[in-house]
């Protein structure tokens, strides 16, 4: 008898056809809470994007063995509860790296050259002077880029910044990556990186250590001409502190693809600021990349649940397969 797989994300039908070779598939991209809990009772695996896998959910899933995230992040996993229940979790690293870096550069260019802000000016028919100094922005090329959290996405960002924009790149990580020294990508203490960088890009995962990592004291260390980009998780930034830094022009501009509350609250004061750009958590949101992520999540499900292999199991749960 095939294992029962609960698919909680809209995916292309050719993926569903492929899954049917291995699983009895329950496809519920739109579901009520009641339907979801009923389906959980017989599910051995879940193909998921961001649904919280916590103790309450696990209590309704007595047969659950695997949760396969269609994402690189897995802060929706209650690691302690999953470990206690013997539930393995997987994720989809690497296949979205280039896509996330594309958007990061888009936000760097958008904020520095004020693209969205000035495009709105034209649409509101406010362009009255041909060469208005009030429309000037800042250069990106030859500037100093500081990356907080240099994983694989950060490494790709660093290399493109050097090759494409001739930027001076430094990073802060818990672990120094000596192999990058030859590429002149240098580790710096966090405070020094903040003080010297023209662009600061945050790419850390969300942990208790990184929660509110960027707070008022960190923004105070940045240049008044600096731009801050958050591509990590919303809770890594104190949004009130960011608002104050932008409102008081302690930093030049900021952009974020992630927020503490998603979808973002309509009354979030950040949305009132001309020097703030918001995107709706679209770091990996292209057709090609989302298909690649879905394909990898399916492969992870097959390799772990059926073949018993250690494929993209999150580090904290790998002992469950050993």
Q: Are 132 and 219 found together in one domain?
A: yes
CA dihedral (68, 72, 77, 80) positive or negative: positive
pLDDT at 50: 83
How far, in Å, are 154, 226, 230, 256, 284 from residue 102 at the CA level?
12, 20, 14, 14, 9
Split into its structural domains, the chain has a count of: 2
> Distance (Å, rounded) from C-alpha 53 to C-alpha 271?
31
Q: Are 239 and 113 found together in one domain?
A: yes
The position carrying tokens 């980009």 is 229
Candidates 9, 91, 114, 233; catalytic one: 233
Q: Are 52 and 129 found together in one domain?
A: no
Q: Are 129 and 243 found together in one domain?
A: yes
> Distance (Å, rounded) from C-alpha 104 to C-alpha 62?
41
The question of whether 175 is a catalytic residue gets the answer: no
The question of whether 233 is a catalytic residue gets the answer: yes
pTM, entire model? 0.93
> Distance (Å, rounded) from C-alpha 189 to C-alpha 125?
46
CATH number of the domain bearing residue 265: 3.40.50.720
* Omega cis (within 30) before 263: yes
Candidates 56, 262, 272, 288; catalytic one: 262
pLDDT at 36: 80
Question: What H or E segment, with its residue span, contains residue 256?
Answer: strand 253-256
pLDDT at 28: 84
Q: Are 198 and 302 found together in one domain?
A: no
> Distance (Å, rounded) from C-alpha 68 to C-alpha 14?
18
Q: Are 137 and 262 found together in one domain?
A: yes
> Distance (Å, rounded) from C-alpha 230 to C-alpha 225?
17
Q: Are 151 and 178 found together in one domain?
A: yes
CA dihedral (165, 113, 108, 213) positive or negative: positive
Q: Are 257 and 206 found together in one domain?
A: yes
* Rg of the chain over all Cα atoms, to the nearest angstrom: 22
> Distance (Å, rounded) from C-alpha 215 to C-alpha 212?
6
Smallest CA-to-CA distance from 269 within 84, 260, 78 is with 260
Q: Which residues pair with 268 in a beta bridge?
A: none
The question of whether 290 is a catalytic residue gets the answer: no
Q: Are 20 and 138 found together in one domain?
A: no
Would you list the DSSP string of 16-39?
A: HHHHTTT-EEEE-SS--HHHHHHH
Q: Where are the alpha helices (DSSP H) in the chain?
A: 13-19, 33-40, 55-59, 79-85, 97-113, 115-123, 152-165, 190-196, 216-221, 239-247, 287-301
pLDDT, mean of residues 99-128: 96
Candidates 9, 91, 281, 290; catalytic one: 281
Please give the mean pLDDT across all residues of the chain: 96
> Distance (Å, rounded) from C-alpha 64 to C-alpha 41?
8
Q: Mind listing the pLDDT tens digit for each residue in 257-292?
A: 999 999 999 999 999 999 999 999 999 999 999 999
Domain, as residue range, for 87: 4-95+287-321
pLDDT, mean of residues 19-45: 88
pLDDT at 217: 99
pLDDT, mean of residues 102-118: 98
pLDDT at 94: 96
pLDDT at 83: 98
Q: Are 114 and 249 found together in one domain?
A: yes
Q: Could you tell me what percent of the chain has a pLDDT over 90?
A: 90
How far, in Å, are 39, 89, 158, 171, 260 from residue 57 at the CA level?
11, 14, 40, 38, 22
pLDDT at 38: 82
Q: Are 146 and 219 found together in one domain?
A: yes
Min mean pLDDT across 88-92, 176-180, 275-279 is at 176-180
Q: Are 107 and 86 found together in one domain?
A: no
Copy the structure tokens of residue 42.
């017989």
> Distance (Å, rounded) from C-alpha 249 to C-alpha 224?
7
Q: Mind listing the pLDDT tens digit for each residue in 130-175?
A: 888 999 999 999 999 999 999 999 999 999 999 999 999 999 999 9
């Amino acid at each position: 008898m095939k294992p029962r797989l609960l698919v909680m994300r809209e995916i292309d039908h050719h993926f569903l056809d492929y899954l049917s070779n291995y699983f009895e598939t329950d496809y519920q991209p739109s579901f009520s809470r009641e339907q979801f809990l009923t389906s959980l009772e017989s599910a051995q695996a879940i193909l998921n994007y961001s649904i919280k896998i916590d103790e309450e959910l696990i209590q309704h899933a007595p047969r659950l063995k695997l949760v396969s995230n269609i994402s690189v992040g897995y802060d929706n996993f209650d690691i302690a509860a999953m470990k206690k229940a013997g539930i393995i979790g997987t994720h989809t690293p690497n296949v979205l790296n280039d896509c996330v870096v594309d958007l990061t550069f888009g936000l760097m260019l958008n904020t520095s050259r004020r693209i969205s802000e000035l495009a709105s000016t034209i649409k509101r028919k406010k362009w009255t002077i041909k060469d208005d100094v009030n429309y000037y922005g800042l250069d990106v090329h030859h500037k100093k880029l500081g990356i907080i959290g240099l994983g694989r996405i950060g490494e790709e960002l660093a290399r493109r910044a050097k090759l494409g924009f001739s930027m001076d790149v430094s990073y802060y990580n818990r672990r120094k990556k000596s192999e990058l020294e030859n590429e002149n990508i240098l580790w710096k203490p966090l405070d020094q990186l903040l003080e010297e960088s023209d662009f600061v890009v945050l790419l850390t995962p969300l942990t208790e250590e990184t929660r509110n990592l960027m707070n008022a004291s960190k923004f105070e260390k940045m240049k008044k001409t600096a731009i801050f980009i958050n591509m990590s998780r919303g809770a890594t930034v104190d949004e009130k502190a960011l608002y104050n830094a932008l409102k008081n022009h302690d930093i030049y501009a900021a952009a974020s693809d992630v927020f503490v509350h998603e979808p973002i609250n309509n009354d979030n004061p950040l949305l009132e600021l001309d020097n703030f750009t918001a995107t709706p958590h679209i770091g990996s949101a292209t057709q090609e990349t989302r298909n690649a992520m879905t394909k990898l999540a399916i492969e992870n499900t097959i390799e772990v649940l059926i073949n018993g292999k250690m494929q993209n199991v999150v580090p904290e749960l790998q002992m469950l397969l050993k």
